[in-house]
Amino acid sequence: METFVFFYFASIIVVTAGLVVALKNPVYSALALLVMFFHVAGLFVTLHAEFLAIIQILVYAGAILVLYLFVVMLLNLKREEHFHSQLIVGLFLGCVLFAEAVLLVLKGETTLGKNLADANTTVELTRGNTESIGELLYTTYLFPFEVASLILLVAMVGAVILTKKGILEGKS
Amino acid sequence: MDVPVSYYVVLSGIVFSIGLIGVLIRRNIIIILLSVELMLNATNINFVAFSSYLGNLSGQVFVFFALTVAAAEVAVGLAIIIALYRHSASINIDDFRLLKW
Amino acid sequence: MVYALIPLLPLIAFVVLGLGGHVIKERAHLIAVPAVVGSFLLSLMALNEVASGAILRIPLYTWANSGDLTITLGLFIDQLTVAMLLLVTIVSSLVHVYTIGYMHGEPGYARFFSNIALFTFSMLMLVMSDNFLQIFVFWEAVGLCSYLLIGHWYERESARAAATKAFLVNRIGDFGFMVGILLIFVTFGSLQYQDVFSQLDQMAGGTVNLLGAIGGNWEISVMTMICLFLFVGAVGKSAQVPLHVWLPDAMEGPTPISALIHAATMVTAGVFMVARLAPLYNLSPVAMDVVAVVGGVTMFLGATIALTQTDIKRVVAYSTLSQLGYMMMACGLGAYVSGMYHLLTHGAFKALLFLGCGAVIIALHHEQDMRKMGGLKNKLPVTYWTFVIGSLALAGFPLTAGFFSKDALLLSSWMSGGLGQMLTVLGLLTAMMTAFYSFRLVFVTFWGESRVDPHHAGHVHEPSKTMTVPLLILAVLSILAGYIGIPEFLAPAFPGGEGGGHHEGAAATGIMVMATAAGLLGIAAAYFVYVKSPGLPDRLAAQWQSLYQLSLNKWFVDEAYDRTVVMPTLKVADSLWKRVDVAVIDGAVNGVARAVAWGGWVTRVLQSGQAQNYALAMTVGAVVILGALIFY
């Protein structure tokens, strides 16, 4: 049963990922990406990462994709025309990279893992996923959490400045 | 745990490769950025899969942060695209050749 | 130790005048003259000490110590050195005084004095050296001073060319000298005269196989090799054939230095060197024969050319060449004392002749061609009479110093064997020619109708006291130098060599008579040709046209050198420049630059400016690294 669910999600993810890359119309690509995001969230749920699934939908699908669609509409883009010169090389290299990655994983040791388990951070299936993540986030990973907020601040300020009209022409 | 973790690794690899190919062969800058999102998602899947199989929540926290950074990056990237569009009315990456010798 | 001041005073004068010349200007002689006169007085002190039999060795300074080689600076003063010291300081002082008048008002006044002070310093150090390296250093130094002084009027291209010629020809000789010094070091292990002389007995029989490197067999005595190489240096410096070509051209320099350098002192350095190294030469009969023959050829050649020259300084220059040949010949025949005797007397009367020429030149406003002179004997009396005395000494007229020294020289040559006798006959013939040309000079310049340029004819008058007093002093010396017992003084410096003094016997009287006869015959012939029969010189020249041309054109030696040495060298240099320097070396250097540029042009393609290309490159890199991880 679980295998079937996994294969369903995985196949949709792969297909829509391919569609993102292959479709000419940018709006269609964005919509394909949206479908992919939902299925990734589903995958997360099967992996007992419910909090992350919801966050994925909220942030990725709800914020990032919407932003993309805003920009696409704003710039009123047209379809792309011919194939890129790097098509063949790119495809080839992508496949090679994938093959290498798989080979590496198969060749490598599979005993890693159990030593990584830390007493404080083992998952407790009895408590909720959200609570556990929250506890981890505000204790062990507090500093990165604060830094992340700083990153978001920088991004906000940067985005505002970059799109301010007249900043490239200098102060007038 | 019927599904071995290697399946998730393979899935993650496939999505990552697709994203990489997308970066290399698309000319529209927005699609390129979308492909970058694909790559990020692939790593997220990887992290979460391992987090589940190793029983360690650090993986999920990592995804949390990767998500945050992805969001910030998209915001800034799109702002740059808008600025570029204002400058040359095109978002075809072939048109931006300032790095040429 | 105070004798170190002898060379030091002129050196100080050189430094002061060299650095402050543009400030001192017209007062330069106030520094130079006292310095040189001071050296002269100190040399008298040295004379006093040496005359009582002492030999002074004064080590001054150890310059370097490297393994077996020790380089020092030191002074060695024996009778030979003292004689040279006195010659150099006397003539230098007189020339300094003369220069005050001769170069009066010239812009290069201070520079001239500083250069002659430097020369005096170098020459004094040369004669006082106690080791081979020191003599070589100062040998080069006098060559340098000669270059500076010949080219004193450097605005003239002929002066520049003559200075360069002198330096280059000297350099050829110096190369031989250097090889000789290297051989001495290799053979004897030391550069000090003392060490070398004391080891001579052991090394005398040593031979070296010249063809040993290529498996042949040609044994030559080491001493012969050394002496021949050292002699090459003397050939260059003392203007012997074949390196004599620079001396006549050196007349481009001001007359005072012709007197100082090219008559009395620098050119005698070669003869001095052979005499100083007499113990070495005595061990190599072959080398001595070579020296004698070279000297003889030079003696004859110089005299033949002097017969037809029209520039008064050139006549005296070729005369110097000839007399140097005499001295070298004497040394080559083992008659070192006679050779040095003649060197000393020649220094006096040749300097006198040159300074006399200078007086005439100044009086006639820089006219040097004797065809434009004449009738000067009443207008320039002091110059005339001193010039006559000098010419008499040169011709070997009885009772002058030149008579005694030339007589002693010819006698010693005769007494030294078969080669010596042949050369003595040549010497007598040359003596006749010497007398002829020197009185030709006197008669054409001073006697007869005045052929002076009418513009200057009215202003001809005796030059100033600073110029005439040295002439008088030198005239006195030209006579007295025969009576002060120079040979007896010098004899102790050459133990085992030919002793000084007068030989008795039939040969002695015979030679004396023949030498005197040759001289008087020459004077009479000159009188007959140039005074009694006015058209005779031209008729003689027309009749013996080829000989005349040969003599007038200096036996075409310069032309031969030009054709065989200079032109090929210039051609080789030209082709080396065009083919090697431009094509190969510049080509290589530019080629490297072009290769780099080409490499850049090729790799530039990577910088396409397209971000996706860069992403592709990154991907390729990732693939490669992962591949490395997999396979290793």
| pLDDT higher than threshold 50 for residue A120 | no
Cβ C609–B93 below 8 Å, yes or no? no
Backbone angles phi, psi at C511, to 5 degrees: -65, -45
Contacts of A26 in chain B (CB under 8 A): 28, 30-31
Per-residue confidence band for B71, with pLDDT thresholds at 50, 70 and 90: very high
pLDDT-wise least confident of B16-20, B42-46, C86-90, C216-220: C216-220
What confidence tens digit (pLDDT) does each residue in C333-357 have? 888 888 889 999 999 999 999 999 9
| pLDDT higher than threshold 80 for residue B101 | no
Per-residue confidence band for A36, with pLDDT thresholds at 50, 70 and 90: very high
Single-letter residue type at A54: I
Residues 56-75 of B with CB under 8 A from A: 56-58, 60-61, 63-65, 67-75
pLDDT score recorded for residue C460: 76
Nearest to C612 among B24, B98, B101 (CB): B24
CA distances to A66, B27, C335 from B92, rounded to whole Å, are: 21, 6, 105
| Secondary structure, 3-state, C30-96 | HHHHHHHHHHHHHHHHHHHHHHCCCCEEEEEEEEEEECCEEEEEEEEECHHHHHHHHHHHHHHHHHH
The reply to whether A94 touches chain B by the CB within 8 Å rule is yes
pLDDT score recorded for residue A116: 40
Query: For residue C242, with 0-12 CB atoms within 10 Å meaning exposed, 13-18 middle and 19 or more buried, which class applies?
Result: middle
CA distances to A50, B10, C479 from A105, rounded to whole Å, are: 27, 9, 117
C259: CB partners within 8 A, 6+ apart = C91, C95, C98, C350, C351, C354, C355, C358
Using CA coordinates, name the residue in chain C closest to A90. Answer: C616
Contacts of A94 in chain C (CB under 8 A): 619
- Shortest Cα–Cα distance, B36 to chain A (Å): 11
- Shortest Cα–Cα distance, A88 to chain C (Å): 12
Asked if residues B70 and A137 have their Cβ atoms less than 8 Å apart, the reply is no
| pLDDT higher than threshold 90 for residue B69 | yes
Cα dihedral value C43, C44, C47, C51, nearest 10: -170
H or E segment and range at residue C208: strand C207-209
Question: How much of chain A, in percent, has pLDDT values that exceed 70?
Answer: 80
What confidence tens digit (pLDDT) does each residue in C452-469 have? 777 767 777 778 888 888
Question: How much of chain C, in percent, has pLDDT values that exceed 90?
Answer: 20
For the packed helices C285-306 and C222-237, what is the interaxial angle rounded to 10 degrees?
Answer: 20
Query: What ranges do the domains of chain B cover?
Result: 5-92
Q: Does the predicted TM-score (pTM) go above 0.80?
A: no
Cβ C610–B94 below 8 Å, yes or no? yes
Which residue would you say has higher pLDDT here, A113 or C34?
C34
- Shortest Cα–Cα distance, A172 to chain B (Å): 17
What residues in chain C have per-residue pLDDT under 70? 204-205, 209-213, 215, 456, 496-505
Please provide the distance, in angstroms rounded to a whole number, between the alpha carbons at the two ends of chain A. Answer: 66
Is the alpha carbon torsion for B38, B44, B46, B48 positive or negative? negative
Asked if residues C519 and C435 have their Cβ atoms less than 8 Å apart, the reply is yes
pLDDT score recorded for residue A80: 62
Using CA coordinates, name the residue in chain B closest to C612. Answer: B24
Nearest to C626 among A84, A86, A100 (CB): A100
- Shortest Cα–Cα distance, A146 to chain C (Å): 32
Chains interfacing with A (3 or more CB pairs < 8 Å) = B, C
Asked if residues C10 and C36 have their Cβ atoms less than 8 Å apart, the reply is yes
Cβ C623–A90 below 8 Å, yes or no? no
What confidence tens digit (pLDDT) does each residue in A49-84 have? 899 999 999 999 999 999 999 988 888 766 666 667
Using CA coordinates, name the residue in chain B closest to C613. Answer: B24
Query: How wide is the angle at C-alpha C236 spanned by C-alphas C231 and C237, nearest 5°?
Result: 95
pLDDT score recorded for residue A119: 35
Contacts of B6 in chain A (CB under 8 A): 105-106
What kind of architecture, by CATH, is found in domain B5-92? Orthogonal Bundle (1.10)
pLDDT score recorded for residue A10: 94
Question: Could you give all domains of chain A from N- to C-terminal order, each with its CATH number?
Answer: 1-80 (1.20.120.1200)
What average pLDDT does the segment A96-125 reach? 59
C532: CB partners within 8 A, 6+ apart = none
| pLDDT higher than threshold 50 for residue A122 | no
Using CA coordinates, name the residue in chain C closest to B95. Answer: C610
Question: How much of chain C, in percent, has pLDDT values that exceed 70?
Answer: 97
Q: Which residues pair with C221 in a beta bridge?
A: C207
